[in-house]
Structure 1
Amino acid sequence: MWSQNNHPSVDQASRRKRTIGFILAFGVVFSLFFVLHTRYTIHPVSGSSMEPTIQDGQYVLIERNQKFQRYATIAFSATEEEGMFIKRIIGVPGDKMTIRGNILILSLETKSKFDSTVQVKLSDQVAEQLKEKNEIPAGYYFTLGDHMDVSNDSRNFGLIKKTQVEGVLKGILPQSIKGGRPMFVLNVLAVALVVISFVILMIRLIAHYRLEQVKNLEQYPADFRRKLSILKQEETRKNTFFLLIISGLLGLALCLMMVSVFQTGNQLDLAQHQAAQVEKEVQKLKSQQNELLSKVTVRSYPDEGIGLKETDWTKLVDKEKQKEAQPKIETELTQKLAPYFGLVQAMISVDVPSQTLTLSLLGDTENEENKEKIKENVEVLIAEAKDIPKLTQITIEIVMTVNQKQETIYEGTFLREKDQEDFSLLETSKEKG
């Protein structure tokens, strides 16, 4: 016989199920917020150093990770500065750099030396820190603000360690809702409503499944069948009630998601506008760089030379040492020759079978006064290059940029057959214009 004392009441079972359901829903929502909190963070932006990309007063969403690429916008803390900084990565590990006084010339790529250089003025302290370096070390980055005129960045506090970086910019929270943070909460709320609706639906399906497992009611007492009938009616009523709740939650979540979609569209339009502004800033930066170059006056090449024979040139014809030695020697030459030939890049070609070297100098200047001085410096350089072993050819090309048009002001090729012989001029081009 069925005994009521041997089984929990229907109300107790129903309350227990509701309690379990609410606990489960709370756990899911809590887990969702925990994951979002540990992976993402929100920072307010104070100041105009990243305009026009990021406006003063906006909030930015930062993803905590350690994967950084050139031109990515990152959040980091500076060693000697207070607060969190939002800047753009310009220089990455391995980029070649040259320090000329307080001027940093940063080569961003190796294939196109002059089209991919950035030239900025450093503070005295940073220039002193970097003067012995010829490339950005592993685990360090050089950052700039998009609005360089007002930005406090690596020009003032130096290279940034990877460990100082909190994460990468993933999005700018819309300004249409003041502060941006409520918009983020709105999106999280929409996801939470969908999750809660799913949890409620699963609980109701489980309850329905368990009731449907009761078969062959004729073998149970009439009292049990009556209570089961009441329980099914109660569950049907609850299903209807929770169905309305789920519909309401999903409808609300849909509305929130539509708002988010509209805001995303607005953000896309804003991003396109900002991209156009960034392009203008890049052109402005190039103009400033050209203006700075035009003010640089080359110096007379020292009669005693600049120590070319002190370089270990034999490493360049050693198969095992060439790959590591060549970039270092090219950077060293670039730094040594820059004061006497303007913005110059030294490149070395190695012919291993014949054990010979070819030195190429490609320079750029905008100062009219540099023309004759560069020609005089070439003669002294060629005389000193006599002591470089295995060097059989020197090619020099210096161009002057005027109104964005390049004009070759010197071009010559010097040859010799054996070490210690003087170089002879094979061909040269006259000054154009």
Structure 2
Amino acid sequence: MEKVKKIWPSIVKFTKQYLLLILAALVVGWLIHRFIFTASLVQGNAMAPTLKNHQYVFINRLTKIQRGDLVNFAARGIDARQGKANNYVQRVIGLPGDTVAYHQGALYVNQKLVPQTYLSSQEKGSGTELIFGDPWDLKTLSESSLWKSGDRHQERVPAGKYFVLGDKRSQSNDSRYFGFVAQKDIRGKVVGTF
């Protein structure tokens, strides 16, 4: 018993240090997850063939968003037809101030042809013009009653918002249907998969 009494302070000190180390690691992990990196599950085929259904993606919350980036955003409150997926992963097509148009099967941003090498050959001729007409632009899309009232009657992507499309256009519920995605709703940029 005397031996235990002698080493007890060392055990308590070691335990406190160990618990503090675990607590610090948990706090750092939470801060990284909350403010720098996180992960998300892709639900659905809207980004095929780039991303597959039930694939996990890494999200960087700090990086600047550029045209062509894949972004993860909160779908609740943006898409009235949002199903099971709380978050969407889609491609940024239009940045604030951009014009976006579709004509004869080709996508134009600021009147410049956008090569869509990420689309499958099927999607390049998917017939999305049957749904939205050909040609379409932001003004014609934004006349839709599905778009939020604040997004309607726009010829350019408003400040602080983005126009996004899925890579599988024939199955993607994207900005063509629900309008723009606000910067505040974007969780971050996809930087990898696992």
- What is the identity, as a one-letter code, of the residue corresponding to 2:6? V
Distance 1:104 1:96 in 2: 17
Cα deviation 1:334-368 (Å, max 9, x = unaligned): xxxxxxxxxxxxxxxxxxxxxxxxxxxxxxxxxxx
Distance 2:112 2:17 in 1: 65
In structure 2, the partner of 1:89 is 92
Distance 2:157 2:105 in 1: 12
When Rg is computed on C-alpha atoms for both structures, the one with the higher figure is 1
Alpha carbons 1:126, 1:157 under 8 Å: kept: no
Distance 2:155 2:106 in 1: 10
SS at match of 1:71: coil
**Corresponding position: 1:136 with 2:139:** no
Distance 2:70 2:51 in 1: 10
Distance 1:19 1:146 in 2: 52
Alpha carbons 2:106, 2:113 under 8 Å: kept: no
Alpha carbons 1:64, 1:167 under 8 Å: kept: yes
Alpha carbons 1:97, 1:104 under 8 Å: kept: no
Q: Mapping of 1:19-98 within 5 angstroms?
A: 19-39=15-35, 40-65=37-62, 67-76=64-73, 77=75, 78-82=78-82, 83-97=86-100
Cα deviation 1:204-249 (Å, max 9, x = unaligned): xxxxxxxxxxxxxxxxxxxxxxxxxxxxxxxxxxxxxxxxxxxxxx
Residues 170, 19 of structure 1: alpha-carbon distance in 2 compared, 3 angstrom cutoff: same
SS at match of 2:193: strand
Please, what TM-score do these two structures have when normalized by structure 1? 0.32
Alpha carbons 1:97, 1:105 under 8 Å: kept: no
Runs of 4+ residues over 6 Å off in structure 1:
103-106
Alpha carbons 2:106, 2:114 under 8 Å: kept: no
Please, what TM-score do these two structures have when normalized by structure 2? 0.67
Distance 2:187 2:23 in 1: 28
**Corresponding position: 1:15 with 2:16:** no
- What is the identity, as a one-letter code, of the residue corresponding to 1:90? I
Alpha carbons 1:87, 1:145 under 8 Å: kept: yes
Distance 1:19 1:114 in 2: 64
Alpha carbons 1:46, 1:56 under 8 Å: kept: yes
In structure 2, the partner of 1:108 is 109
Residues 30, 57 of structure 1: alpha-carbon distance in 2 compared, 3 angstrom cutoff: same
Distance 1:164 1:81 in 2: 17
Distance 2:102 2:154 in 1: 8
Instruction: Give the % identical residues.
Output: 28
Alpha carbons 2:98, 2:156 under 8 Å: kept: yes
Q: How many residues align?
A: 160
Q: Mapping of 1:147-186 within 5 angstroms?
A: 147-173=168-194
SS at match of 1:24: helix
Structure 2: any 5+ residue segments left out of the alignment?
117-127, 134-139, 145-150
Distance 2:105 2:157 in 1: 12
Residues 172, 99 of structure 1: alpha-carbon distance in 2 compared, 3 angstrom cutoff: closer
Distance 2:107 2:22 in 1: 53
Cα deviation 1:39-98 (Å, max 9, x = unaligned): 333222122111121111111222334731111111111342323211000111111246
Deviation, structure 1 residue 13: 2.9
Residues 23, 54 of structure 1: alpha-carbon distance in 2 compared, 3 angstrom cutoff: same
Residues 62, 116 of structure 1: alpha-carbon distance in 2 compared, 3 angstrom cutoff: closer
- What is the identity, as a one-letter code, of the residue corresponding to 1:14? S
In structure 2, the partner of 1:377 is none
Distance 1:79 1:92 in 2: 19
Alpha carbons 1:49, 1:147 under 8 Å: kept: yes
Q: Mapping of 1:7-406 within 5 angstroms?
A: 10-39=6-35, 40-65=37-62, 67-76=64-73, 77=75, 78-82=78-82, 83-97=86-100, 107-109=108-110, 113-116=111-114, 121=129, 123=132, 126-129=141-144, 132-173=153-194
More helix by share: 1
Cα deviation 1:360-404 (Å, max 9, x = unaligned): xxxxxxxxxxxxxxxxxxxxxxxxxxxxxxxxxxxxxxxxxxxxx
- What is the identity, as a one-letter code, of the residue corresponding to 1:158? G
Computed over aligned residues only, the root mean square deviation of the Cα atoms, in angstroms, reads 3.3
Q: Pick 1 or 2: higher relative contact order, CA cutoff 8 A, min separation 6.
A: 2
Residues 38, 149 of structure 1: alpha-carbon distance in 2 compared, 3 angstrom cutoff: same
